[in-house]
Amino acid sequence: MRIMGLDYGSKTMGVAVSDALQITAQGIEIIRRDRGNKLRRTLARIEELILEYEVERIVLGMPKNMDGTDGERTQRSNELKEMLERRTGLPVVLWDERLTTVAAEKAMIEAGIRRAREKEYVDQVAAALILQGYLDYCHHMDGDMK
């Protein structure tokens, strides 16, 4: 079974999944929305990916301010968490996503991806970084995947 990581943006949703051993995260897709607040198609696509990858848990990036306080998008992330839990029946873990977009941009620059193409992949890479952070933490805590 795998774990899915999500980076919830204003008009996109970056998606990543773990390998079957839950050791590494790979970005798989960016779901784009015409309207930022319309999530019906996004949730339907997430459900399709859950079935395809046999996902057992979701890790959702939680936007925090640099001082650790809740960011302006925290409420929307909490609402998405509740929607995902209701629709999928899976547990959803909120994970601090501070600096993941910055780290994703840096990784793409180091990989030689041109700035013009960076926006195409940044949310997907950020989702992978969110999920990898969670996986590393869980394995550090004696493999307790809670």
Higher pLDDT pick, 69 / 133? 133
pTM: 0.83
Query: pLDDT tens, 70-95?
Result: 777 788 899 999 999 999 999 999 99
Residue 40 has pLDDT above 80, yes or no: yes
**Any idea what DSSP says for residue 112?**
T
Mean pLDDT, residues 45-71 taken together: 87
pLDDT of residue 105: 62
Q: Helix, strand, or coil here: 45?
A: helix
Q: Helix, strand, or coil here: 96?
A: strand
Task: Please identify which residue in the block is written with the tokens 């949730």.
Answer: 43
CATH class of 2-140: alpha beta
pLDDT of residue 96: 85
Sign for the pseudo-dihedral over CA of 4, 39, 125, 127: negative
Per-domain boundaries in the chain: 2-140
**Any idea what DSSP says for residue 7?**
E
DSSP string of 81-124?
A: HHHHHHHH---EEEEE-TTHHHHHHHHHHHTT--HHHHHHHHHH
